[in-house]
Amino acid sequence: MSQQNNNYDENDIQVLEGLEAVRKRPGMYIGSTGAGGLHHLVYEIVDNSIDESLAGYCTEITVEILEGDVIRISDNGRGIPTGIHQKEGISAATVVYTVLHAGGKFGGGGYKVSGGLHGVGASAVNALSEWLELTVYDGSDIWFQHFERGHYSEQLKKIGKTDRTGTSVMFKADDEIFETTVYSYDVLLKRLREQAFLNAGLKIVFTDKRDPENIKGETLCYEGGIRQFVEHIHTARGLESLSGDVIYFSGSQGDSFAEIALQYNDSYNEIILSFANNIHTKDGGSHETGFKNAITKVVNEYGRKMGLLKEKEKLGGDDIREGLTAIISVKLTDCEFESQTKVRLGNPEVKPFIEKLVQEKLMNFLEENPDTAKMIFEKSLSALKAREAARRAREAERSKNAFGKSPMPEKLADCAERDNRYTEIYIVEGDSAGGSAKQGRDRRYQAILSLWGKMLNVEKARIDRIYGNDKLEPVVAALGTGIGEDFDIEKLRYGKVIIMADADVDGMHIKALLLTFFFRYMRPLITNGNVYIAQPPLFRVERNKKIYYAFSDEERDRYIDELSENGKYKVEVQRYKGLGEMDPEQLWETTMNPETRTIVKISMEDALRADEVFTVLMGDKVEPRRNFIEANAKFAQDLDI
């Protein structure tokens, strides 16, 4: 063990000048250096243009992915001020792109409402780009400045004349910082479409020009704003509306503005998306809490007023929100987010504002639209009955054992270790594969749970059907966490939950069913990073007792060439149609040995997208599922199905 340095003095205090802090700790400013952080660069510059739109000066934004994954974002706003900044002694535009916490979003006359990183966005993007080029059009002159990793050798300079106004930013993300510099068209399209919905009438033109022979793009402009957002969500998921037109209302309090759109559908799941100054607050906050409180109060009050609820009967918030899609958007002069990455709104004054708005407007709507009100009540009462049935089923499960725990499943071969930092459970389809896995495993820390028969598709079932289900109960009992509102990740018995199924269509279906179950009723397993997919090989390639396992056709062909010495010798190739074809030693070596296996962690960076995919793939509607499969068929070649 090395001797620690106890001399902690003034020489150990490090001062990071200018944008060095951003390059040293990029995650503090953009969340991560993975794909999420890479796309965040685009969001920050787009947010600046949208702030110009909110101020009433920008009507069109263009976003382009150019060859080499270069990004160009242009708008027709006022253009960043180019005059000399009194304090800094350089152009104000240069200040915005080189000085942290500099911009027009701290009060004064710049912006009443803004989204970006409060003066950090543009400079952070500049710091994390290999190069960035800024062009400003001020209605008279064209100004230009080139930066490299946040530094510049030449000041902002005039390069021509113009009668247009606006700003254009072109940059290349720095591969010294980011794990990947390749942008996802779909990820950017989703975010840009979201922004177009939230800013009714704003035109966003998005184009991907990386492949000159396959240029693609969309023009996004929605005069109906968040009303169309709700309709888009339902169309994308194949959900049927139950409440006629989208319900919409808005209101102001001082400088604060809020708008809400909602509609019921035929699913059992709620979708509530909240935004503050166009930023998606995925963890909610005061605006979302105010909305939930208010809708629960209004629907219960209306029910009593109309004699639809018995004296002691009360609908819970979960009952009322079953099958509800709602968008909540607030625009505030000063947003208080509870973290740098803005996932939760903190402004306490917003909660009573939203509560008052929803109580007044929604009550009026229900009174004026009795048919829609009746539908909401029937759906909510049905959800209440299902919840009560689920409670009875849950209590019945608890009463099976005096200690409130279900006995371990018959088909569970448990491990010796009890510390979930070291344990893992393989959920395996079929007795044959389960038998091989039990024999081949390391019994000290690997448990095996065999499943059989067709599993319940929970996307088409309420929670009362989950309790006691003979296919799902063994999974719940083995993991030990409970489900739904009873879920407690502290009780998880295995740190890794590994789904191991055949590499065919049936195997893919089993994976989808299990992941849907985890997503709907044990979601913290996914958000906490406990769920994995095993990757068994597709082929065994052998010659003269030299064996390779291949996980793709390309890998198989490469091994055949190597072992046959380019076709001179015969090579044996075995195609594994199922896990049961492997003996225990092969299964251990290829799929279960931590030293040699490949397992894929299931993450949920985008909960809404995951929710949409599960609804489309596992729901009742055939057409959206067909459209999804056709759109993503090009990715299926790697799955060998």
Instruction: Tell me the average pLDDT across 201-209.
Output: 97
pLDDT for position 118: 44
pLDDT for position 42: 96
pLDDT for position 468: 75
Q: At what angle do helices 185-198 and 35-54 cross, to 10 degrees?
A: 20
**Amino acid, res. 231:** E
14-38 residue pLDDT tens: 444 568 888 888 888 888 899 989 9
Q: Which of 193, 219, 245 is the last residue of a domain?
A: 219
Both 302 and 352 in a single domain?
yes
- Cβ neighbors of 410 (< 8 A, separation 6 or more) are 474
Both 204 and 313 in a single domain?
no
Both 203 and 324 in a single domain?
no
Both 355 and 427 in a single domain?
no
The pLDDT of residue 106 is above 50: no
Both 161 and 245 in a single domain?
no
Instruction: Tell me the average pLDDT across 86-112.
Output: 72
- What is the dihedral angle through the alpha carbons of 170, 341, 259, 324, rounded to the nearest 10 degrees? 120
Say if 242 falls within a structural domain.
yes
Residues 128 and 23 sit within 8 Å (Cβ to Cβ):
yes
Both 319 and 235 in a single domain?
yes
If one compares 403 and 373, the residue with the highest pLDDT of the two is: 373
The pLDDT of residue 104 is above 60: no
> What's the CA gap between 287 and 514, in Å, rounded?
34
Say if 505 falls within a structural domain.
yes
Instruction: Tell me the average pLDDT across 176-199.
Output: 95
Say if 469 falls within a structural domain.
yes
Q: Which residue has the tokens 């005059």?
A: 83
Both 43 and 190 in a single domain?
yes
Residues 525 and 588 sit within 8 Å (Cβ to Cβ):
no
We report the CATH number of the domain holding residue 616 as: 3.40.50.670
Say if 91 falls within a structural domain.
yes
We report the CATH number of the domain holding residue 315 as: 3.30.230.10
pTM tops 0.95, yes or no: no
Which residues form the catalytic set?
A: 429, 502, 504, 506
421-440 residue pLDDT tens: 999 999 998 888 889 899 99
Q: At what angle do helices 607-618 and 505-521 cross, to 10 degrees?
A: 130
Q: Which residue has the tokens 């700003």?
A: 167
CA angle 531, 537, 541 (to 5 degrees): 165
Residue 521 to residues 226, 434, 610, 621: CA-CA distances in angstroms? Answer: 29, 25, 14, 22
Number of domains in the chain: 3
Both 269 and 370 in a single domain?
yes
pLDDT for position 117: 44
Instruction: Tell me the average pLDDT across 156-173.
Output: 96
φ/ψ (deg, to 5) at 208: -110, 110
554-583 residue pLDDT tens: 999 999 999 998 788 899 999 988 888 888
The two tokens of residue 276 are 């503050």
Say if 567 falls within a structural domain.
no
| 3-state SS assignment for residue 367 | helix
pLDDT for position 617: 74
φ/ψ (deg, to 5) at 192: -70, -35
The pLDDT of residue 1 is above 80: no
Could you tell me the pLDDT band of residue 625, with boundaries at 50, 70 and 90?
A: low
If one compares 455 and 359, the residue with the highest pLDDT of the two is: 359
- Boundaries of domain holding 256: 226-391
If one compares 614 and 484, the residue with the highest pLDDT of the two is: 484
Say if 449 falls within a structural domain.
yes
Residues 171 and 25 sit within 8 Å (Cβ to Cβ):
no
Instruction: Tell me the average pLDDT across 165-173.
Output: 97
Q: Which of 219, 253, 278 is the last residue of a domain?
A: 219
Could you tell me the pLDDT band of residue 398, with boundaries at 50, 70 and 90?
A: low
Average pLDDT for the chain:
86
With 0-12 / 13-18 / 19 or more C-beta atoms within 10 angstroms meaning exposed / middle / buried, residue 421 is: exposed
The pLDDT of residue 633 is above 60: no
pLDDT for position 629: 61
Q: Which residues on adjacent β-strands are paired with residue 84?
A: 91
pLDDT for position 8: 42
- Cβ neighbors of 448 (< 8 A, separation 6 or more) are 412, 413, 425, 426, 428, 434, 437, 438, 441
Q: Which of 188, 219, 250 is the last residue of a domain?
A: 219
Among 168-182, 449-463, 517-531, the range with the most confident prediction by mean pLDDT is 168-182
Question: Residue 208: left if φ>0, alpha if ψ -120 to 50, beta else—which one?
Answer: beta
Could you tell me the pLDDT band of residue 631, with boundaries at 50, 70 and 90?
A: low
603-617 residue pLDDT tens: 876 555 667 777 777
Instruction: Tell me the average pLDDT across 231-256.
Output: 91
Query: Is the Cα dihedral 15, 17, 19, 24 positive or negative?
Result: negative
Both 259 and 191 in a single domain?
no
Both 301 and 241 in a single domain?
yes
pLDDT for position 22: 85
If one compares 160 and 87, the residue with the highest pLDDT of the two is: 160
Residues 338 and 288 sit within 8 Å (Cβ to Cβ):
no
Could you tell me the pLDDT band of residue 3, with boundaries at 50, 70 and 90?
A: very low
pLDDT for position 640: 33
Q: How many helices (H) and strands (E) does the chain have?
A: 19, 22
Query: Is the Cα dihedral 578, 634, 523, 463 positive or negative?
Result: negative
Residue 223 to residues 233, 296, 328: CA-CA distances in angstroms? Answer: 16, 30, 17
Residue 565 to residues 63, 314, 571: CA-CA distances in angstroms? Answer: 50, 76, 10
Both 494 and 478 in a single domain?
yes
Say if 182 falls within a structural domain.
yes
> What's the CA gap between 205 and 188, in Å, rounded?
12
pLDDT for position 101: 65
> What's the CA gap between 34 and 39, in Å, rounded?
9
Both 35 and 88 in a single domain?
yes
pLDDT for position 87: 83
The pLDDT of residue 634 is above 80: no
The pLDDT of residue 549 is above 70: yes
We report the CATH number of the domain holding residue 69 as: 3.30.565.10
261-302 residue pLDDT tens: 999 998 888 999 999 999 889 889 999 999 999 999 999 999
The closest alpha carbon to 512, from 483, 533, 527, 530, belongs to 533
The pLDDT of residue 199 is above 80: yes
Instruction: Tell me the average pLDDT across 196-200.
Output: 96
Say if 555 falls within a structural domain.
no
The pLDDT of residue 415 is above 70: yes
Instruction: Tell me the average pLDDT across 378-404.
Output: 77
The pLDDT of residue 326 is above 90: yes
Among 312-316, 478-482, 599-603, the range with the most confident prediction by mean pLDDT is 478-482
The pLDDT of residue 240 is above 80: yes
pLDDT for position 506: 78
Percent with pLDDT over 90 in the chain: 55
